[in-house]
Amino acid sequence: MKKLTLLAMSLVMALTVKAQETGTDITSQFTNTDFEGGNGTSGWTSTGRAPSTIGTAVENNYQGTTFMETWVASSGNLGNFDWSQTQEVPNGYYVVKALAHAIKQNQTVTPESKGVYLYAEDVQVEIKATVATEHTVFAKVTDGKLTIGYRAVRCNVNWTAVDYFRIIQCHGDTEEAAKTSWLKCEMSQIQEDLEANVLDYPMDAALRDALYEAFEGIESVSTYAEAEALWNSIKEMAEEAKECVAAYEKLLAKIDEVYEYAEDHEGKGDVGVLFDAADAAQEG
């Protein structure tokens, strides 16, 4: 029993150290960050133009089925607004991420979007993307409260939306240490996603080996420069791996089409060669 207790304590300590090194997702401490469950915009305070929620998120490349948005006819621009919420958190460094887009619709040439921002505390990033894209801000809390939000100031767009807020508490006494822990958290999340959804698919062996080698290097990263370099490398390889999966699934779909065609035309000529070709492709 004593050995089991010591083992359990060791596991807890190891997990605690890992969390301190990679950052902690504290999104659950905030309210209605993904706008699912029919909660509308509850939990968010708004000034200026009020937000609404719409249930076509999947069609617009957003997470889940609902996002928070505002829209006017394309002949006009959105008025100023500020949608936010504040929660008590420990002092330190935080990363806030969200999917967002801002666009002036129905233009001969779509202008560069201006005046819409994702923010945390006094740090903001302007939303230039015209389709749902992840945006990130890095902020420091000194008064035990973190304010996150989305706002427009004299913008030139008629439609914007935001969804899937994620808040990461970064561990470290300095900004560099905190940013390093954040990137290690990001890389660990990419690893988890790829191992669950991608790496079991057929792909170039060298690419798979390079990804596993990169994953092994996450824990040994000690500086922000090292973390950023490894993060960029992992992201690039992850995109390549996902492209391999997409190509493989496309190939399987084509093989299914060949099988279906051959079955439909069986007895109407020599379709055996089609079955043989489909079998060979599937085995390959």
**pLDDT score of 264:** 66
Q: What sign does the CA torsion over 16, 19, 21, 24 have? A: negative
What mean pLDDT, rounded, does the chain reach? 86
pLDDT in tens, 241-263: 999 999 989 888 888 777 777 67
- Residue 64 pLDDT grade (very low, low, confident, very high; cuts 50, 70, 90): confident
Higher pLDDT pick, 233 / 20: 233
Task: Look at strands 133-141 and 145-152 and give their pairing.
Answer: unpaired
**Burial readout 204-213 (b: 16 or more C-beta within 10 A, e: otherwise):** eeeebebbee
Global confidence as pTM: 0.75
pLDDT at 23: 78
Chain segment 97-118, per-residue pLDDT in tens: 999 999 999 999 999 999 999 9
pLDDT band (50, 70, 90) for residue 66: very high
Q: Which residue has the higher pLDDT, 282 or 70?
A: 70
Find out whether 30 and 23 touch, Cβ atoms under 8 Å: no
Share of the chain above pLDDT 70, in %: 82
Cα 129 to Cα 112: distance, rounded to the nearest angstrom: 9
Per-residue model confidence (pLDDT) at position 218: 94
The region of weakest confidence among 20-24, 226-230, 257-261 is 20-24
pLDDT in tens, 182-213: 899 889 989 999 999 999 998 899 999 999 99
